[in-house]
Amino acid sequence: MAFLLKYFGGRGSTSMQQPSATIEDLCHRFSLAQLRKSTNHFDRRLITHTDNFYRAYKGCISINGELKDVIVERFRRGGHSVLQLVKNNIIYRCRLHHPNVVSLVGFCDDENEMIVVYDYAPNLSLYDQLNSKSATISWKKRLEISIGVARGLHYLHSGTKRTLIHRDIRPLAILLDENWVPKLRFCWFSLKGPKFSEKDVRPIQAIVRGTTGYIAPESLKHANVTHKSDVYSFGALLLRLICGKELRNLAETGRAEGIIDQSLMGEIAAECWKLYMDIAESCLSFDPDERPDMGEAEVLLERALQLQEEADHNLAFHAS
């Protein structure tokens, strides 16, 4: 976990500096015993996802006398310095408040552990839904999900004093609540970038992180990261939503039309399709400067949804 020293603190870091507030001021502290009980002693059968740095479990815990379903994300063991840096990162994220960004419920740092707790998403992740054989997501719902993700990213890029670059936009990082509202899951190698008001946005040199197919070319080639790197990942996500397949399959065919999700056939209005694909193409531009800001992508997607709703209304009107 040495990479945390580079991204979350240390001399010359562009990421989170030592905050003035304490973690207890902003976030509920759970005991390790509470979290063990909530996850049946970290039962492997309750694991929802895992990577090189943590394992996440579904749990149920009492908060202020009320039982609540949660995700318990347990970091692999690290030293004291790493523990403190992760806590600093948690404090920063406790200050983020947006309907399309996951809210932290609490944390635990007993016995040199570092565990974070956040809301459980009843509809799991977008990845789970797109790969489910039984569930199907309508085209309109996919548009609404893409708009929600765009709003969350727009907030991270421009809604706080400094830009927060997510760096792992992909279906697994998007949780869906009981109303199918998308929530951006926390990414522990996110970067805190320059002030949003700064016009001269210089790339941050950083170790390549992310998921194959969603990483911007400038990050792969030069290890350069800006908020436009997230825009590229978002463009890849737009293709994933319309194709219902991983991007490696898209590369085999060379065009989205050839592998459009069969469950969407006949649902997509022509005007909506054209605008949606134009947005995806612009987000996937090789030149970062040619990609739109997330606020612009959000507005265009809202227009695409409007075009779809108008087409649906006209079709229903003529049918009646």
Q: CA-to-CA distance for 48 and 34, rounded, in angstroms?
A: 19
Q: How many CB atoms lie within 10 A of CB 129?
A: 19
pLDDT bin (cut points 50, 70, 90) of residue 265 is: confident
Determine how β-strand 115-119 pairs with β-strand 66-75: antiparallel
pLDDT bin (cut points 50, 70, 90) of residue 275 is: very high
- CA torsion 273-144-184-279 (nearest 10°) is 20
Using CB atoms within 10 Å of the CB of residue 270, give its burial: 0 to 12 exposed, 13 to 18 middle, 19+ buried.
Answer: exposed
Phi first, then psi, for residue 271 (nearest 5°) are: -65, -40
pLDDT higher than threshold 70 for residue 121: yes
- pLDDT value at residue 4: 35
Q: CA-to-CA distance for 170 and 173, rounded, in angstroms?
A: 5
- pLDDT value at residue 3: 33
Q: Which long-range contacts link 50-56 to residues 24+ away (Cβ below 8 Å)?
A: 52/76, 53/1, 53/188, 54/188
Using CB atoms within 10 Å of the CB of residue 31, give its burial: 0 to 12 exposed, 13 to 18 middle, 19+ buried.
Answer: exposed
Q: CA-to-CA distance for 57 and 38, rounded, in angstroms?
A: 9
- pLDDT value at residue 197: 57
pLDDT higher than threshold 90 for residue 259: no
Question: Residue 137 is inside which H or E element, if any?
Answer: none
Residue with tokens 């825009």: 231
Structure tokens at 260: 């459009």
Task: Give the mean pLDDT of 52-69.
Answer: 89
Stronger pLDDT, 38 or 205, i.e. the higher one: 38
Q: CA-to-CA distance for 80 and 82, rounded, in angstroms?
A: 5
The answer regarding whether domain 3-119 maps to CATH 3.30.200.20 reads yes
DSSP per-residue codes, 64-128? TTEEEEEEEEEEPP--HHHHHHHHHHHHHHHT---TTBPPEEEEE-GGG--EEEEE--TT-BHHH
- What's the pTM value of the predicted model, to 2 decimals? 0.86
Contact 122, 283 (CB under 8 A): no
Q: CA-to-CA distance for 306 and 113, rounded, in angstroms?
A: 48
Task: Give the mean pLDDT of 273-292.
Answer: 95
In tens, the pLDDT along 68-108 reads 999 999 987 765 655 666 676 677 778 888 999 998 888 89
> Annotated catalytic, 168?
yes
DSSP per-residue codes, 29-73? EPPHHHHHHHTTTT-GGGEEEE-SSEEEEEEEEEETTEEEEEEEE
Residue 275 CB-half CA count within 13 A: 19
Catalytic residue among 109, 168, 230, 261: 168
In tens, the pLDDT along 148-160 reads 999 999 999 998 8
The alpha helices in 183-262, defined as continuous H runs, are: 217-222, 227-243, 247-253
pLDDT bin (cut points 50, 70, 90) of residue 260 is: confident
pLDDT bin (cut points 50, 70, 90) of residue 169 is: very high
Using CB atoms within 10 Å of the CB of residue 124, give its burial: 0 to 12 exposed, 13 to 18 middle, 19+ buried.
Answer: middle
Task: Give the mean pLDDT of 242-252.
Answer: 64
CATH topology of domain 126-319: Transferase(Phosphotransferase); domain 1 (1.10.510)
> Could you state, in order of their start, the residue ranges of all structural domains in the chain?
3-119, 126-319
pLDDT bin (cut points 50, 70, 90) of residue 171 is: very high
Task: Give the mean pLDDT of 234-241.
Answer: 95
Task: Give the mean pLDDT of 104-129.
Answer: 90
pLDDT higher than threshold 50 for residue 9: no
pLDDT bin (cut points 50, 70, 90) of residue 258 is: low
pLDDT bin (cut points 50, 70, 90) of residue 8 is: very low
Least confidently predicted of 81-85, 267-271, 314-318: 81-85
- pLDDT value at residue 161: 79
Residue 282 CB-half CA count within 13 A: 17
